[in-house]
Chain A
Amino acid sequence: MVSQLVRCPTCKTTISLLGEPGEKISITCPNCNQKGIFTVPGEKSQRTIASDSAAIEVNNLTKTYNSFTAVNNVSFRVQKGEIFGFLGPNGAGKTTTIKSMLDLIHANTGAISINGINVRTGGKEAKKSIGYMPEKVAFYDNLTALQNMMFYAELKHASKEECIRLIDEFGLGDAGKKRVGTFSKGMVQRLGMARAILGNPSILILDEPSGGLDPRGVVLIRDKILEMKKKGTTIFVSSHILSEIQEICDRVGIINKGVLVAQDTVEGLRKKLNLKPHITVTVDAISGKIENAVKKLPGIDSVKTIGNNTLEIICDGAMKAKVILAISTAGANIQNIQTKEPTLEEVFMKYTEA
């Protein structure tokens, strides 16, 4: 891969491109929508080779619908064996990005490779390693769950035994011989997850896998994701359930209005935003004296009284000892102390508030 900076001839905006030497890349300027083709300097190679450790590599992906830019110059890498959470508000471009990764929709510009294979030119080969669960899970209503699974198994070269086992594992054993048209939304969703992992794919792409599931179903899907990770599967998951993402993902990417605004570990994103932990101190009784003693400390961002015996303090983690000392000195009896790191929800809200 060669990185190249190109300047838009119309508005002079600098655009960053990644491509194979000799590759012709169609570009749409994100600022003025000027279209053009750029040839990456150097000799052309036969295959797009991503770095050895990248299972998914997306470079400068842009997709527009008439004048609306759904995804704007998005680039990221998902390493082999990691769980990558892909977050964003409704309409931010998550599903468009995922569908582009699978070549279901044709991007205006950009290159996507799966296990080093360009999905545009080698889609058939690239998709052999993918298991996909779409946001809108659907099956053939006139066929039974087993008939549906058998159809996908034939195309994935998986066995009937595996279909039966997966149907059982997802709690659909009794319904295996019933038409999918009679299934509830949750049952369809579970069957969708079973279909995604059929054939033991090395990359799982899950678009809102927990949508429409009851708590038991959510746990089932989460456990299955973790089980697949243990087997070495790379997992790319988009979800609105941020607590779940925080719990299972190694790294996250946040997309907002078509632009990838952040990608890092949850901890890394917290640090970038300088988000501080919440220290909750429960005492026998709160007084103005105690509250003022904490407020007077340097480096305290905020102090909030909850009820008549709890203080919630936002400050640097290193301040915890000083906070405890100040409260004790002010005459309070400390009953409980809890430190909560900022949640992914707070990180998400910060990045998508604009």
Chain B
Amino acid sequence: MQFNVFLSVAKKEILDNIRNKWVILVSLMFALLTLVVSYFGSIGSNGWQDLGNTISGMTQLGSFLISIVALMLGYATIIGEIERGSMSALLSLSATRFEITVGKFLGLGAVLCLTILIGYGVAGLVIAVNVSNVDYLAYLGFIGMTMVFGLVFLSVALFFSTVFSKRSTALGGAIFLWFLFNIILPIIFVGLLATTIDFTKITMETTLIVPDWYHVLNLFNPISVYSSLIGMTIGPVQSSTGSGFIPNPSWYSSGLLMGVLLAWIIVFFTLAVWRFQRKDV
């Protein structure tokens, strides 16, 4: 295992991807929308505790757009190189598949984190200008957690790029993944919940009692885990699961949710290495 291989591959990934027009386009869109949300959310606020909706909006934007950027960065990183022919030249050098996968993850992760840092960094400046008594540490934590969330999608995309034998199918897989986590899974989970709860009897005064299995299921969707984590750790945001109106259970903790996100990264990264080791190039 050679550290210089990790660094060389990571550096190459950064150079290659910061010039990728699609990544630039989506990142700009993310930065612009975040700027709009943070500006209009902060101009009339009365302080940090008043920013709940703004941070929630930024979280929502993050889960939609950061997942796209991560999937776009990662879906073709292995299969794209195999299909194009550059992977065979890379593997003919004294670099192992593990070293290449680590290098790619580090490089693409750096590009992703830079995108998040620019987008939320600009928003942070806007908030700092318009809002008094900003909890900068909490805001930095928010950026850090978003980075971890982005790395989850990057890790899943990396695995997908080793599974498919064509770049085009990998793209289809990435699009499906985005729909799965952003739309399909939340609908399925809430649909399952609807079969056990009579929503017609719920009033403003009723305390919604949600079964534990629903919260367990939500741990299998990184988007739900991310929004619950932000809700539990960032002061102004109310605690809620990905479906928005259901409160987090008492047994959710920031440690558990962060652990789940890290587990997603480790499991899918390991699967990507395992699959790539067995793949013919």
List A residues at the B interface (Cβ < 8 Å): 99, 102-106, 123-125, 127-128, 130, 132-140, 142-143, 147, 151-152, 154-156, 192, 195, 205
Contact = CB atoms under 8 A, between A and B. Distances in A.
Contacts of B88: 99, 102, 104, 132, 134, 136
B8 A104 contact: no
A142 B16 contact: yes
A130 B94 CA distance: 9
Nearest to B277: A106
B85 A154 contact: no
Contact of B281 (A105, A135, A137, A140): A105
A141 to B, nearest CB: 8
B97 to A, nearest CB: 10
A52 to B, nearest CB: 23
A155 B11 CA distance: 12
Contact of A138 (B12, B86, B91): B86
Q: How large is the interface on B (under 10, 10 to 19, 20 to 34, 35 or more residues)?
A: 20 to 34
Contacts of B8: 151, 154-155
Given A138-B86, A140-B86, A155-B93, A104 B281 contact: yes
B94 A155 contact: yes
A154 B103 CA distance: 13
B12 A143 contact: yes
B201 interface: no
Nearest to B4: A154
Q: Is chain A's interface secondary structure helix, strand, loop, or mixed overall?
A: mixed
Given A104-B281, A151-B12, A154-B4, A134 B96 contact: no
B95 interface: yes
A104 B91 contact: yes
A138 B89 contact: yes
Contacts of A136: 84-85, 88
21 contacts: A99-B88, A102-B92, A105-B280, A106-B278, A106-B280, A123-B96, A124-B96, A127-B92, A127-B94, A130-B92, A138-B89, A140-B86, A142-B20, A151-B12, A152-B89, A152-B93, A155-B8, A155-B90, A155-B93, A155-B94, A155-B95
A55 to B, nearest CB: 15
Contacts of A137: 85, 89
Given A106-B280, A140-B86, A124 B94 contact: yes
B277 to A, nearest CB: 9
Nearest to B91: A104
Contact of A142 (B4, B5, B15, B92): B15
A131 to B, nearest CB: 8
Q: Is chain B's interface secondary structure helix, strand, loop, or mixed overall?
A: helix
A139 B281 contact: no
B76 to A, nearest CB: 13
Given A138-B89, A195-B89, A99 B96 contact: no
B85 A138 contact: yes
Most chain A CB within a 10 A radius of its CB, from B5, B84, B85: B85
A152 B8 CA distance: 9
Contacts of B86: 138-140
The 8 closest A-B pairs by CB, nearest first: A138-B85, A136-B85, A132-B92, A105-B280, A142-B19, A138-B86, A154-B8, A104-B281
Nearest to A128: B94
Contacts of B280: 99, 104-106
Interface in B1-36: 4-5, 8, 11-12, 15-17, 19-20
A134 B89 contact: yes
Contacts of B278: 106
Contact of A147 (B15, B84, B85, B281): B15
A125 B89 contact: no
A66 to B, nearest CB: 13
Nearest to B99: A124
Contacts of B17: 142
A99 B281 CA distance: 8
A322 B168 CA distance: 68
Nearest to B280: A105
A190 B90 CA distance: 17
B84 to A, nearest CB: 5
Contacts of A195: 89
Contacts of A132: 88-89, 92
A136 B89 CA distance: 10
Nearest to A100: B280
Nearest to A137: B85
A155 B92 CA distance: 11
A132 B94 CA distance: 12
Most chain B CB within a 10 A radius of its CB, from A134, A140, A152: A140
Nearest to B19: A142
Interface in B156-209: none
